[in-house]
Structures are given as structure tokens and as C-alpha cells.
Amino acid sequence: MDGTSRRTFLRGGVALAVATPLIGACGQSAGQGAGGTLRAALVGSGAAETLNPFAGATTLDFVRALAVHGTLGRVDPTAEDGVRYDVLSAIESAPDNSGYTLRVRPDRRFTDGSKLTARDVLYSLNFITANAQTAYSRYATDLDLAKARIIDDLTLVLPAKRRVSDVRLMLCQPYVLIFKDGTREFTPATPSCGPFRVDTFEAGRGTVLRRNDSYPGTVHLDAIELRSIAAEDARANALRGGQVDYAHDLAPAQARTVQGDGRFDVQQSAPPDVTGLGVLLNMSRPPFHDPRVRLACKLAINRQAILDTALLGRGVLGNDLFAPGYPDSATTVPQREHDPERARLLLREAGATGVTVTLTTAPETPGLVPMCTQIAAQLSEVGLKVTLDERPPGGLYADYAAYGRFQMAATYSTPIPPLHYYETVGAAGNTFALGWSRPDVDQRVAAARELSGPARKQASEAVHRTLWEDNNVLLPVFKPVLNGHVRGLRGVRGGRLPSFAEASLR
């Protein structure tokens, strides 16, 4: 990741988006039958917004990109291959995982009328590798794109550099978007192949999307207004005030209020589609270079109290490990106990009692600041004096290099399979690892990804046990995504990154 890779999750455009009509206004949402316009409020990045899906990383950026551009597929642990395909019909692996054959669907076209081919897929994979932030481009680490072979319009063969067994999961991440061969800029006129096309766009206010009539699937909506509203209370108020039909990522208290109003429903996601709320301890800075201090911090945390207070009980207890709900997720590692007395003893042994540290946070997602506030208080109770440095919305990741230097840094995780998640953001050399450097663990994770079946599960559990014991992560809770919507809305898929391709208003 570089400075834009975790760019603002909450920033700008609140009053303007709510108080004034959107550009290219589509009027009121449809009340009856098929068609109509869905008005959705999501977190954007204000004036910094762009149609380039890799120049920002807010919810609005990705939801818009997924509506406009095709993907190879999406991860679905319930599906036969663990994925459901989009522009592909299959990803076939060689018996020894030495290569992969991608089968392109014959019925996909771009908005300019041209057919989507294997050449477009290969161009897109190379484009992402060259232009996306490091974390997003790591999906191709195990593939030799330079030796890829286009067999025909619908067949692409990708040789493997490393014979891992989970390439399907990597290729079907939401940031592996499909562009037309030769795409270099992103404007409303850029050819695309998703269920919608860009009609109008204005940074900081929103985007109007129109149905893509060349899309092969059934799309019920005529249009979508994606409104950029950074503040969570403003999104909730826009829903209750009738200005939008869908409000993404509500805080628990707001979700409770919305759910108590008979006009609305609240959609709550479940693992693996949950967001981890946590704090990273910078191992390159004292006192967190000392494993006793890190363990003391983990033992000092009262996870149940954080769940009950910061999330009002709506969530899942964390265990200092990322990505629950996947086949590779830890299931045998014991739940960390709350043991403040042992935490005090460890701090005294390390000479860290009374040391002052700074925890940097920002309201990047609902619950993050309240969680950090409680962690600061709980650590202070056992002798580590924590000063809270709360940045404005979007300020946590505004400078990614600076983020890597924070003494303690708030973090939120995205639902990515855990072994892939580790290689993406936790392996040695990644700024987001905040000083974690364990080549032995990196090698064990890499080896586990080459396995399958029970052997893979056993290796994954062993790695997670090491991470649980030694890592620099405080991860007390996982937050479901709480999305409020009018009762007549149906067919929205997903919580964190909702898809409106099958949505309808009645």
C-alpha cells in the first residue's frame, strides 16, 4: 500500500449532499413496480473523489466501481469453488496447480458495443498490478502474468510462480476489476461492462448511474444515485428524512432508531462479511518492541465491555486475529481472557508502568473511535498511560507513510480470507504491519497456501496460534455492517460492499 491505499473512509460532502439536489437529479425514488431510481448514501472522500477506482478506497469508490465495472467473480464460502463468477464462467486449475485457465463468458460486452475478451481480462490484471496500491496488486504475486497466454477470445492461461491452492479466492476479490484493453483514464465515457454505466459524476456530491442495457443479467433499476455523505448520523438522518432509500454502515445506536421506525428495515451482515475494529501496536517503537508489553495490552482489554458499549451488543467478540468465518479461519485457538492483574505484573516487569503512549484514531467506520476510547481507558487502568489523538474523518489514512510511524494506530479490517489477508497487509515489509517482521511466519503462511484439505486447515491453525501469541494486534470486536433501507427495497446483496445489480424498489 502507498499513501492512497487506505485513503479516507469518512470525509467531506455532508451538508451539500443532503441539503441540495444531486447533479443530474433523478427526482424521487420509484414507489411501485420495477424500474425507478434508488438513492443510496455512502461514505465518500469529498472533493478528492475520482472515477479511478484505485485512486481512493472509500465505500463509495468501491461500490461505484463494482456497479460499473465487471469482476472475475466474488468470494462466497457457500459456493462449490468458494466463489461465484461474473465475467468468467470458470477458473480451472492444473492438477498440480502449476497454472490456471480462465474461461470468459461469451455474452459480455462493453458499453461501446465491443465484446469482452480474454485480452481485456489480461490487460486488466496487468493494469491493476501496475496501477493499484501494493495491497490490491498482491493478488498477482503467485501468477506469472508476463508468461500468460491468450488461447482464443474466451480462454486465458495464467502460469503460476508458486503452486498455491487458493488462486480462485485471490482472483475473485472485489478490487480485481475488468477494463477494456487500452483503458488509461476513467470518465463517464470510459467503456465499462458492469450492470450500470456512469451518467454524471461530481466529486464530493455523488454519481448518477444508469442501467447498462448491454448487460446480460436482469437489472430492475433504471438508475442509482450514489450520494457522498461522510458523517454516519447524516446518512441516518437522510434515510429517515426521505432523502435517500438506503443508508450504508450505520452506527448501532442509529440502526436501533431506524429499525424502530416502521418505514424501514436494517440489514445486518454476518461473518465473514464483518469489519474488525482494532489497534496496532508499533513494534518498531518502544514500549511495544517488548513482547511483555504487547501481551499486557491484550490481557488488559475487556472485550465484552467493548462489544456491549461501543457496538451495543451488535457484533462478534474478537480474539486478536483477523478474518473470521472462512475455512482457513482459526477455530481452535482459545479465547483470550481478560486478566488485568497479570497485565499490571507484565508492565512492571517490562518497566513500562507509567509510560505515556499515543493512540491515533479517527471515525473511519462506526464504532472505531468509541472502541479506541475504551481501549485507552482500559490500558490506563493497568498502568499504561494512553493519550488519544483523534483525527478528523479521513485523517487516519490521509498519509499512509505517517500511519506506519504511529505508536498505536486504530485499524479496521476487511473480510478477506485470513492467509491471504496476512500476506496482503501483515507480511514483513508492509507498512501496515507496524514493525511486525517474522520471516518464519511469512514462510509458514506461504507453505499453508500451497496445501489443501485437512493439511491446510492444520497448518492454518498452527500459524494462527503463533500470531495469537506473538502479534502486535489488539482486535477486541468484529462489527457487522448495519445498512438501513426503505421497506420496499429488495435484492441488495452484500453488506460491506453492497451490490445493487439485483435490487428493486416496490
**23 pLDDT above the threshold of 50:** no
DSSP class per residue in 286-324: TTTTSHHHHHHHHHH--HHHHHHHHSTT-SEE--S-S-T
3 burial via Cβ count (<10 Å: 0-12, 13-18, 19+): middle
Of 15-19, 152-156, 228-232, 418-422, the one with minimum mean pLDDT is 15-19
**Helix orientation angle between 340-349 and 291-300, rounded to the nearest 10 degrees:** 160
Which pLDDT score, from 0 to 100, does residue 135 have? 60
| CATH number assigned to the domain covering 14-68+194-269+483-505 | 3.40.190.10
Of 110-114, 119-123, 416-420, 437-441, the one with minimum mean pLDDT is 416-420
15 vs 154 pLDDT, higher one: 154
Mean local confidence (pLDDT), 107-125: 97
Give the separation between CA 94 and CA 72, rounded to whole angstroms: 19
Domains in the chain: boundaries: 14-68+194-269+483-505, 71-178, 274-480
Domains 14-68+194-269+483-505 and 274-480 share a fold: no
Give the separation between CA 9 and CA 13, rounded to whole angstroms: 13
**360 pLDDT above the threshold of 70:** yes
Of 248-257, 296-305, 327-336, 413-422, the one with minimum mean pLDDT is 413-422
Nearest to 244 by CA among 258, 253, 256: 258
**Helix orientation angle between 232-240 and 252-259, rounded to the nearest 10 degrees:** 10
Of 55-59, 368-372, 408-412, the one with minimum mean pLDDT is 55-59
10 burial via Cβ count (<10 Å: 0-12, 13-18, 19+): buried
**27 pLDDT above the threshold of 60:** no
Give the separation between CA 421 and CA 449, rounded to whole angstroms: 12
Of 31-40, 212-221, 244-253, 476-485, the one with minimum mean pLDDT is 31-40
Q: Which CATH superfamily is domain 71-178 in?
A: Dipeptide-binding Protein; Domain 1 (3.90.76.10)
| CATH number assigned to the domain covering 274-480 | 3.10.105.10
**417 pLDDT above the threshold of 90:** no
Percent of the chain with pLDDT over 90: 74
Which pLDDT score, from 0 to 100, does residue 18 have? 28
Give the separation between CA 68 and CA 203, rounded to whole angstroms: 17
**Mean residue pLDDT across the chain:** 89
CB 475 within 8 A of CB 421: no
**265 pLDDT above the threshold of 80:** yes
Cα torsion through 6, 11, 16, 18, rounded to 10:
90
Q: Could you tell me the pLDDT band of residue 437, with boundaries at 50, 70 and 90?
A: very high
Q: Could you tell me the pLDDT band of residue 76, with boundaries at 50, 70 and 90?
A: confident
pTM as predicted: 0.83
The values of phi and psi at residue 446, to 5°, are: -60, -40
CB 124 within 8 A of CB 177: yes
Which pLDDT score, from 0 to 100, does residue 15 have? 28
**346 pLDDT above the threshold of 90:** yes
**159 pLDDT above the threshold of 90:** yes
Which pLDDT score, from 0 to 100, does residue 4 have? 33
Give the separation between CA 415 and CA 273, rounded to whole angstroms: 6
Tens digit of pLDDT for each residue in 442-501? Answer: 999 999 999 999 999 999 999 999 999 999 999 999 999 999 999 999 999 988 899 999
CA distances from residue 14 to 52, 63, 119, 298 in whole angstroms, order as listed: 22, 18, 41, 37
Which pLDDT score, from 0 to 100, does residue 134 have? 56
Q: What distance, in Å, lies between the first and last C-alpha atoms of the chain?
A: 42
Q: Which helix (H) or strand (E) holds 478?
A: strand 473-480
Give the separation between CA 432 and CA 266, rounded to whole angstroms: 33
Beta-bridge partners for 16:
none
Tens digit of pLDDT for each residue in 166-221? Answer: 899 889 988 899 999 999 999 999 999 999 999 999 988 899 999 999 999 899 99
The three-state secondary structure class of 271 is coil
223 burial via Cβ count (<10 Å: 0-12, 13-18, 19+): buried
The DSSP code for 114 is P
Written in H, E and C, the secondary structure of 7-42 is: CCCCECCHHHHHHCCCCCCCCCCCCCCCCCEEEEEE
Which pLDDT score, from 0 to 100, does residue 14 have? 27
Q: Could you tell me the pLDDT band of residue 132, with boundaries at 50, 70 and 90?
A: low
Tens digit of pLDDT for each residue in 366-406? Answer: 899 999 999 999 999 999 999 999 998 778 987 888 999 99
CA distances from residue 376 to 105, 245, 279, 395, 409 in whole angstroms, order as listed: 52, 37, 10, 19, 12
Tens digit of pLDDT for each residue in 276-320? Answer: 999 999 999 999 999 999 999 999 999 999 999 999 999 999 999
